[in-house]
Amino acid sequence: MPRLTLATVTIAAFAFGGSVTADPKRPTPDYDGRGNTDARPSDAVWIPRLALSPVYLAHEVIVRRPLEAVITTAERDHWPSRIEDLLTFGADRNITIFPTAMYDFGVEPSIGATLNAQNLAARGNSVSLHAATWGPQWWTFVADDRYASKGASEETRLELTRREDNLFVGIGPDVTHATSSRYGTQRIDASETLSQRVFGGSSITLVSGIRRTELRDGTCCGDPSLAQLIDDGMTAPPPGFGEASTTARIRAGLKLDSRAPRPAPGTGVYLEAHGEPNVDLSSGQSWIRYGGEAGVALDLDGRQRVLKLVASAELVDPLSSGAIPFYELAQLGGDNTMSGFLPGWMNGRSVATAGVAYTWPVWVWLDGQIRVSAGNAFGDHFDGFAPRELRLSADVGLTSIDARDHGFELLVGAGTETFEQGARITSFRIAIGTRMGM
Amino acid sequence: MRSIILFFTFIAACATTARPFPLREPLAVDPDRTPFAATCRAAPTHKDPHAIACTPEPYLSSLAWDALDNTIFARVSRGLAVDVGAEAANANALDEVADSSWFQNRSDVAATGGCAADELLPDPEQVADGAWVIDHGKDDGSTLGFRVDIPGKGKYLLKADTPEQPERSSAASVIGMAVYHAVGFNTPCEQVVYLRPSQLTLKPGLTVTGNTGSTHAFDAKALAQVLASSSHRGELVRMEASKWLPGASLGPFRYEGTRDDDPNDVVPHENRRELRGSRVLAAWLNHYDAREQNSLDVWFANDAKHARSPGYITHYMLDASDVLGGDWDPDDMTPRLGNSYYLDFTDIATDFVTLGAIERPWDREQKARGHEKFGFFSAERFDPDTWKSGYPNPAFLRMTERDAAWMARIIARFTPDEIRAIVAGGKFTSASDDEYLAEVLLARQHAILARYFARLSPLADVHVETDGRICATDLARERGVFSQFSYDGFARTGDRRVPIAIDVEAAGRTCFAPRSTANPAWRDDDPRRIAVFVVTNGTSAHAIAIHTYDLDQRGFRVVGLERR
């Protein structure tokens, strides 16, 4: 232990009850006959030592030694196994509770917990319950029952969510941060998913579900509420504002992926396509959501340094008369598409993005990730699409590798106005936390 | 070039004249096994609830805190304390380490490591059924096992191999500890044994407590599980046997600070050369698990029958089962072992900032075909300079060039035959495993010598012969580390500087004949008798300065060496 000053040692000894016997230490032998003077650092180090001594003392007394006391006590008294006992159940300890936390600059943070039971009703069965909250204005509860066997899976899911921090900036390509506002939603979403792996990472997915959405007032993070903006005449009510909907949907998805899972090299191509007709059971209004994503990945050295070119598009077309509720439009922003923007920053009848992403290993459990993409929300069938109407999004961060259940991510990103508007940075995003886990 | 080296060495030698080595025998034995009386404390047992223990307080090392502290907090502390480091505090005048409770300078390499002849266990055909009594399960650790009481031999801890790396773990423990012992550390007796399950008798009612604190029965089913998990040769089960150390266990020693309750312990452990230099030894074997939990302080009472007897502490190295390619979970961690800490903020930050542009050693590590059991233990990308333990070790962090060169000189003494003899102690089923391992160890030894003999002089064993010549062994030449040697030297007495002729002889022997210029009327310790001989070998960047006293017709006496 570096000994900074006699005072430090004395304080530490008193503070932490260091045991010192009365037996005197023997004199240190003169090992080399010259007093081993080269074993002592230069006297000049005392100047910086003296200057840093308050910080050193604070680190030792406030951080290091208390932590040592807690951790050694925890280990001696088997706290980890007690906590494990507390958080794991079942004959084979197949039921686990683990905490989750997420902070995303610009929306409400959340803390929660997930309870996961493996092989509960049968082998391959996984039941998960997840709850997270940040007060009465933000909570979510998810129940998920999944069976998986030989590449096939069946999943029943119920999700109840209330949040009052949903971002709404506007509809179409030309909206600006000046009109950003918040609104609240309360949703109940029940779904049934069947999935069959075809080969490699390729699969077919069928989803059917019903969703009840009620709108609420909401504010967050310095932004006014959408209702307030409408009341003040600052913006027109978007379609479906103030109306609840109960939507039934069926989604069919196909994913073709030539890439093998890690640790195989990440080179390959993939194509994902989906179609999802929706009908509002209360109004009879209907629409279809469809789109897809195509990507080419090149593992530069066969060691997971993967460069990926990605293009994606999604469209929402009405199947009956009447406008589609604004919260059912195609959206950009969030974790997967144009991550420099918060979720829901861009809304439109169609959205399109193209970009490049690069991931590389930085640790056994972490990849670095950098993504740059261009895209925007447009009108009906990309109406209004023009290169000058595109926005840029870039983000860099760390993400845990291949952890579906309890991943970690740290992301810093930014998004710009359209090129026509000057491409100035209009969105800034920091996200850190564990993924919801389901 | 040589004249430049000689010039700077001369300057350095001049600089040292301010504090000459005294005329005395270099310290060969550190008297740190001086008995002392320890404070007594209550130590109730089932048999004797009023028992007392008069030993230093056992140290309970926290696995989690040791890892966390050394990975993060201790490093911050050292930074804030401007802990710039310096040379080891216990190097003697000959740039060596005296015998002590930590280290013994050994003149030969024993293939059996710390095992005396009567500690070696018999072959299974010489053991009667039920003769080995299992009296304890193995409580902690990553490997399964149990303790046996063997009549006439004492107690041994038997540990199983892992199915993933058959024979490796047991061989690694034996070979690793044999190397540590041959270098000079105190180690328990470790050996590979083959046994018939029928020669074991299980004492009823045994329990084991795991790392997490959960306790369960160690019964016939648990025993069968242990035996099934280990390697087999036909009907015989292969296990590693570790002789139970005598004395009272005091828990691990720390790689930092001193024990408050040991009056003999006066050199902060991070400043002990043997602990600092053991970083090079750990690199040789890839002993990434070189942390305090793999060490042990043992109290030896002068009179074991009397609880209050004075005694002293001896320090042991334990458990090298990770060496020679031990693997880890997750698999991706394994090729990093030795190349990066488990949690290496510097490497993470570097890889993040450079977008992974730097190719890392673990990117290209491959298991040797046919020898996959040795994981990524190879010499191909071995760099002793950049080697890292699993997490920072305070003594390793303070290792200086001189500490490393000291250990390299010891490692150089292992001949190829001695290395093969030690490897044979692993009792591999396939002879090709012996060959592979010996080749890798020899290649890694060469890499260590090439690195550490390139800067500081590899001249060792400096002594005065009966004919009055001063001779040394150039370990680099003896081991064939370099090819071009070119010797030069001079003698300095007072302000005079006289060239000396170097005799280059076989087996690395390097000698010169000093000429006496001393006046017999001078006192023996008169500074005018000091003669310093500076010798370079043409391959290392620095010379060796041999400090002597010219005792006229009685010859020269070597009192100090400097390699810098």
**Are B87 and A67 an interchain contact pair (Cβ–Cβ within 8 Å)?**
no
Q: How many C-beta neighbours within 10 Å does residue B185 have?
A: 22
Q: Is the per-residue pLDDT at B142 higher than 70?
A: no
Q: Which residues of A touch B78 (CB under 8 A)?
A: 2
A38 vs B: CB within 8 A: yes
Supply the pLDDT for residue B541: 95
- Identify whether the C-beta of residue B255 lies closer than 8 Å to the C-beta of residue B278: no
**Are A40 and B86 an interchain contact pair (Cβ–Cβ within 8 Å)?**
yes
User: Strand B488-493 and strand B530-536: pairing?
Assistant: antiparallel
Residue A306, amino acid: V
Supply the pLDDT for residue B525: 95
Would you place residue A435 in the very low, low, confident or very high pLDDT band (cuts 50, 70, 90)? low
- Identify whether the C-beta of residue B541 lies closer than 8 Å to the C-beta of residue B553: no
Q: Which pair of structure tokens corresponds to residue B212?
A: 């997490």
Q: How far apart are CA B191 and CA B184, in angstroms?
A: 18
pLDDT tens per residue, range B395-431: 999 999 999 999 999 999 999 999 999 999 999 999 9
**Are A31 and B363 an interchain contact pair (Cβ–Cβ within 8 Å)?**
no
- Identify whether the C-beta of residue B138 lies closer than 8 Å to the C-beta of residue B145: yes
CB contact set of B144 (below 8 Å; sequence gap of 6+): B138, B159, B160, B225, B226, B229, B230
Give the residue carrying structure tokens 């196994």. Answer: A81
Q: Which pair of structure tokens corresponds to residue B550?
A: 């010219």
- Identify whether the C-beta of residue A252 lies closer than 8 Å to the C-beta of residue A209: no
Point out the residue among A38, A45, A71 whose CB comes nearest to the CB of B68: A71
Point out the residue among B213, B257, B261 whose CB comes nearest to the CB of A21: B261
Q: How far apart are CA A134 and CA B411, in angstroms?
A: 61
Percent of chain A with pLDDT over 90: 69
Q: How far apart are CA B318 and CA B320, in angstroms?
A: 6
A258-274 burial by CB neighbour count: b if 16+ within 10 A, else e? ebeeeeebbbbebebeb
Average pLDDT, integer, range B442-456: 98
Q: How far apart are CA A186 and CA A163, in angstroms?
A: 7
Mutate to test the interface with B, among A363, A365, A400 (most CBs of B within 10 A): A363
A63-93 burial by CB neighbour count: b if 16+ within 10 A, else e? ebeeebeebbebbeebbebeeeeeeeeeeee
Residue B494, amino acid: G
pLDDT tens per residue, range B81-112: 999 889 999 999 999 999 999 999 998 888 88
Supply the pLDDT for residue B264: 97
Supply the pLDDT for residue A76: 87
Would you place residue B207 in the very low, low, confident or very high pLDDT band (cuts 50, 70, 90)? confident
Would you place residue B184 in the very low, low, confident or very high pLDDT band (cuts 50, 70, 90)? very high
| Range with the largest mean pLDDT of A224-238, A394-408, B155-169, B281-295 | B281-295
Q: Which pair of structure tokens corresponds to residue B513?
A: 């004949």
pLDDT tens per residue, range A103-123: 888 888 899 999 999 888 888
**Are B60 and A55 an interchain contact pair (Cβ–Cβ within 8 Å)?**
no
CB burial class (10 A; 0-12, 13-18, 19+) of residue A42?
A: exposed
Would you place residue A406 in the very low, low, confident or very high pLDDT band (cuts 50, 70, 90)? very low
Q: How far apart are CA A156 and CA A438, in angstroms?
A: 12
| Radius of gyration of chain B measured on its C-alpha atoms | 26
- Identify whether the C-beta of residue B464 lies closer than 8 Å to the C-beta of residue B497: no
Would you place residue B17 in the very low, low, confident or very high pLDDT band (cuts 50, 70, 90)? very low
Point out the residue among A84, A368, A398 whose CB comes nearest to the CB of B356: A368
* Average pLDDT score over chain B: 92
- Got the DSSP string for B283-352? HHHT-TT-SGGGEEEEEEESSTT-TT--EEEEEEE---TTTTT---SSGGGGGGBTTB-TT-HHHHHHHH
Instruction: Give the 3-state secondary structure of residue B480.
Output: coil
Average pLDDT, integer, range B176-195: 96
User: Strand B200-202 and strand B132-137: pairing?
Assistant: parallel
Q: Is the per-residue pLDDT at B493 higher than 80?
A: yes
Q: Which residues of B touch A3 (CB under 8 A)?
A: 81
Point out the residue among B73, B93, B330 whose CB comes nearest to the CB of A67: B73
pLDDT tens per residue, range A141-193: 999 999 998 889 999 999 999 999 999 999 999 999 888 999 999 999 999 99
Supply the pLDDT for residue A177: 87
- Bridge partners (DSSP) of residue A394 are A372, A414
Average pLDDT, integer, range B431-445: 97
For the whole prediction, is pTM greater than 0.90?
A: no
Taking the CA of residue B122 and the nearest CA in chain A, the distance in Å comes to 39
**Are A39 and B86 an interchain contact pair (Cβ–Cβ within 8 Å)?**
yes
Would you place residue A438 in the very low, low, confident or very high pLDDT band (cuts 50, 70, 90)? very low
Average pLDDT, integer, range B546-555: 96
Q: How far apart are CA B22 and CA B213, in angstroms?
A: 56
**Are B263 and A38 an interchain contact pair (Cβ–Cβ within 8 Å)?**
no
Taking the CA of residue B549 and the nearest CA in chain A, the distance in Å comes to 14
Q: How many C-beta neighbours within 10 Å does residue B116 have?
A: 10
Would you place residue B173 in the very low, low, confident or very high pLDDT band (cuts 50, 70, 90)? very high
Whole-complex ipTM: 0.89
Q: Which residues of B touch A45 (CB under 8 A)?
A: 82, 84
Q: What phi and psi values does residue B426 have, to the nearest 5 degrees?
A: -75, -15
- List, in sequence order, the alpha helices (H) in B356-499: 361-364, 394-397, 401-412, 416-424, 431-452, 475-478
Q: How far apart are CA A325 and CA A316, in angstroms?
A: 11
Instruction: Give the 3-state secondary structure of residue B499.
Output: strand
Instruction: Give the 3-state secondary structure of residue B403.
Output: helix
Q: Which pair of structure tokens corresponds to residue A135?
A: 């007060």
Taking the CA of residue A338 and the nearest CA in chain B, the distance in Å comes to 20
CB pairs under 8 A between A and B: 176
Can you say how many angstroms the Cα of residue A46 is from the centroid of all Cα atoms in its chain?
47
pLDDT tens per residue, range B374-398: 999 999 989 999 999 999 999 999 9
List the single range of A39-53, A83-97, B32-46, B506-520 with lowest mean pLDDT.
Answer: A83-97
Q: Which pair of structure tokens corresponds to residue B267?
A: 């050199």
Mutate to test the interface with A, among B27, B65, B358, B364 (most CBs of A within 10 A): B65
Supply the pLDDT for residue A178: 87
- Bridge partners (DSSP) of residue A100 are A112
| Range with the largest mean pLDDT of A131-140, A334-343, B450-459, B492-501 | B450-459
Supply the pLDDT for residue B275: 98
Q: Which pair of structure tokens corresponds to residue B533?
A: 């001989």
Supply the pLDDT for residue A1: 39
Supply the pLDDT for residue A17: 39
Which of the two residues, B332 and B143, has the higher pLDDT score? B332
Would you place residue B13 in the very low, low, confident or very high pLDDT band (cuts 50, 70, 90)? very low
Q: How far apart are CA A200 and CA A198, in angstroms?
A: 7
Would you place residue B3 in the very low, low, confident or very high pLDDT band (cuts 50, 70, 90)? low
Please report the residues numbered 46 through 105 in chain A whose beta carbons come closer than 8 angstroms to any beta carbon of chain B: 48-49, 52, 55-56, 59-60, 63-64, 67-68, 71-72, 74-76, 78, 80-81, 84
Would you place residue B49 in the very low, low, confident or very high pLDDT band (cuts 50, 70, 90)? confident
CB contact set of B258 (below 8 Å; sequence gap of 6+): A25, B265, B266, B267, B268, B269
**Are B65 and A68 an interchain contact pair (Cβ–Cβ within 8 Å)?**
yes
Q: Is the per-residue pLDDT at B8 higher than 60?
A: no
Q: How far apart are CA A268 and CA A202, in angstroms?
A: 12
Q: Is the per-residue pLDDT at B515 higher than 80?
A: yes
Supply the pLDDT for residue A14: 37
Average pLDDT, integer, range A344-363: 96
Supply the pLDDT for residue A407: 65
- Got the DSSP string for A315-334? EEEESSSSPPPGGGSEEE-S
Please report the residues numbered 239 through 278 in chain A whose beta carbons come closer than 8 angstroms to any beta carbon of chain B: 263
Which of the two residues, B201 and A438, has the higher pLDDT score? B201
Supply the pLDDT for residue A16: 40
Closest of B441, B457, B447, B473 to residue B401, by C-alpha: B457
Would you place residue B10 in the very low, low, confident or very high pLDDT band (cuts 50, 70, 90)? very low
